[in-house]
Structure 1
């Protein structure tokens, strides 16, 4: 019956052959999944509602339930779909150009794997942060699925690597394969822009440098730069609150942590928190600002004492790695929980981090004049991502070795392969103090 169609729509439908019934787009479920992945990646799991996702797709929230049981089901599907893309793109078969005897060229296989991973990451740059930073909200069985997917991708990278470098230990192979994934995945953590072909070239070169890097031997003894903890639980109530809150934010998540839990962890009544902080958000902002100030504060003494850009970068790498390993919870909280800050605090943190990255970029372009500033920016972000991703793999018992490996991979990422630095960074010498009664040139000039 045509009784439900207004006469002005009926004539249009007849003349154009359009069905009177509104048809759902063919790929509606895929559209919903992509919109959800981008929303969860940008805003975090807890900040996104079904209404948020529905608005991005242009449907009502109830319409989403035709495809997904609820918000968690949508989140789970988005995370595992992204990681499944990495599995699918690395499921490579020998191409027609491969010589079947004695088997595929392992170097060519590695090249193909890297290209496939870069392409998949570029395709999902707006949502790739989802499985990197929000996956902890997965339930145990889904977390196990994600872990299995990522292990499979790592093993596919390691298989040709074993053929090329059979002397690598298992731990070294995992360090290198995870390093490749980290460098490639780093582009989801920033919004610097380059043509896709330039990004591919930069990331492919960085991945090749990592895969060919000569890592330190596990039995060697490494000088370990000392970095103090940013917060300590026994340094007074104020510091204890920050220490407890940052640890809880890392383990439970900001939204799932209550003021009562923070107070209990610090050993004070809940009312005691409000002598120092007006809200949970203020605690988060204070902690993250302290962390970014620590990293930013490392610049001044190095810039003031070292004139060689390469040596300055080596010192910054040492300081950055040591600080990150000494305070692992702050790195995780920065990437996962900053979405819970006020817009003003988010902008402040962003600007401080941008200023720090700018300083590294200036040094890198001075050390490698062939790089443009924007190319250097991609490499700096890639190097910094290594600290986060490989740091999560490190055992406390192997921290010194892990730090040495991360420093090495950061160096080859920024400086390229075959550009090993001297045996150690040149440390600045303090200026000579004139003997009492002697005349310095500046004093003579003022006489």
Structure 2
């Protein structure tokens, strides 16, 4: 039986050899930019240039695709640092530099999709969640091994603080779209990581500010307090349960009002989310303006900004985390408004940093400011936002090192 040849000019379609890799890249970028709930199998298939039916031949469900995308990113971090298990290192400084360099290269290669394991990994289930945790633990242990040799005085909690700080700073590049040549990004992140690893961390015996917390503001009017309570309780629930698993009934019950009463203040959950973020952004902007005006010296102003930012993060721990995990649930218009507000805040801090660190360009300072913001979230979560003077001093010192290039001693206030 003779074979029929394709007509002249007809292309013979063949499945690319890297189809699986194409799907992995497309799905990771889609989940990272749109979130787990914002992506469909059809959308991913379209990105790859295949039909949804063809995609289902590779993956039985969206969750299967998501799980592989997240764990693949985690595995890349494990694989790029695997050399640390092969031999005994002779120079712990060199070993640490090699590990940091490998992590930076991997973060840069996955800048469009790295937000997936940072912010969407919470949707992994059971054993899959445990697998991601095990991957990250492996990377931390590899970083901590040469660190232990360099700084044997550190206790376990301090080693974890520093390894998380380094991974946070490196991972911060997936949270923004600031531009800088790759060679400069590598140099900057390596320098920040080295500075963090060398930081003398305050211990519980160190003298820290033990003054009482500022007095609570006077209670607002009844109508205003309902509005404020709705914002506060909503953010608490979004942080604890997640935006999609929090119903209007849950919010109403937390505030002590019928669900229908919420609609006197907000059109829906998305509006609550946007209002809470706008409120926080406005207050942060006001703080920056006031602190800059009160401190003509840029280093004094930057130090005051760091202190205020840390204090606010412990006072309202859910804000930053919920912003990065749930901001995609806002309308596109609200997302754009919040991005512009955040950009304005970052630029105000960048101006101070450049004055203090003239060796940096504004672009380099911008990366450092985002790294500092990432530290506040990741280390705050490590500390479970326990609002103690020691925890605030620890985080303040690491932000000092990141932005000032050194840490400044704060004058301890007498206890009241």
TM-score w.r.t. the length of structure 1 is 0.86
Q: Which is further off, 109-118 or 284-293? A: 284-293
**1:34 — aligned with what?**
25
1:143 equivalent to 2:134? Answer no
Give ranges in structure 1 of 5+ residues lacking alignment.
428-447
> Is the Cα–Cα contact under 8 Å of residues 143 and 163 in structure 2 kept in the other structure?
yes
Partner of residue 149 from structure 2, selected from 163, 169, 175: 163
Partner of residue 378 from structure 1, selected from 350, 359, 367: 367
User: Is the alpha carbon distance of 1:40 and 1:215 closer, same or farther for their aligned partners in structure 2, counting shifts above 3 Å?
Assistant: same
Q: Which is further off, 176-185 or 364-373? A: 364-373
The alpha-carbon deviation at position 402 of structure 1 amounts to 2.1
Give ranges in structure 2 of 5+ residues lacking alignment.
none
Q: 2:82 is paired with a residue of what secondary structure? A: coil
Q: Distance in 1 between matches of 2:377 and 2:354?
A: 23
**1:261 — aligned with what?**
250
Q: Distance in 2 between matches of 1:133 and 1:94?
A: 28
Structure with the greater alpha carbon radius of gyration: 1
| 1:291-326 deviation line (CA, Å, top 9, x unaligned) | 112221211211111111111111100110110111
User: Within 5 A, what are the aligned runs for 1:20-99?
Assistant: 20=12, 22-93=13-84
> Is the Cα–Cα contact under 8 Å of residues 285 and 341 in structure 1 kept in the other structure?
yes
> Is the Cα–Cα contact under 8 Å of residues 315 and 425 in structure 1 kept in the other structure?
no
User: Is the alpha carbon distance of 1:193 and 1:181 closer, same or farther for their aligned partners in structure 2, counting shifts above 3 Å?
Assistant: same
The alpha-carbon deviation at position 238 of structure 1 amounts to 1.8
- Equivalences, count: 409
The alpha-carbon deviation at position 397 of structure 1 amounts to 4.8
User: Is the alpha carbon distance of 1:84 and 1:217 closer, same or farther for their aligned partners in structure 2, counting shifts above 3 Å?
Assistant: same
Q: Distance in 2 between matches of 1:83 and 1:293?
A: 36
| 1:102-126 deviation line (CA, Å, top 9, x unaligned) | x521111000000000000000000
| 1:368-424 deviation line (CA, Å, top 9, x unaligned) | 1121110110111111110001001104557432221111111111222xx343x32
The alpha-carbon deviation at position 425 of structure 1 amounts to 7.0
Q: Distance in 2 between matches of 1:135 and 1:229?
A: 36
Q: Distance in 1 between matches of 2:274 and 2:105?
A: 36
Q: Distance in 1 between matches of 2:33 and 2:127?
A: 24
Q: 1:104 is paired with a residue of what secondary structure? A: coil
**2:397 — aligned with what?**
408
The alpha-carbon deviation at position 224 of structure 1 amounts to 5.9
TM-align CA RMSD: 2.5
TM-score w.r.t. the length of structure 2 is 0.92
Q: 2:57 is paired with a residue of what secondary structure? A: coil
Q: Which runs of 4+ in 1 moved over 6 A?
A: 227-230, 232-235
User: Within 5 A, what are the aligned runs for 1:10-409?
Assistant: 10-12=7-9, 20=12, 22-93=13-84, 103-223=89-209, 226=213, 236-395=225-384, 397=386, 399-409=388-398
Q: Distance in 1 between matches of 2:85 and 2:138?
A: 18
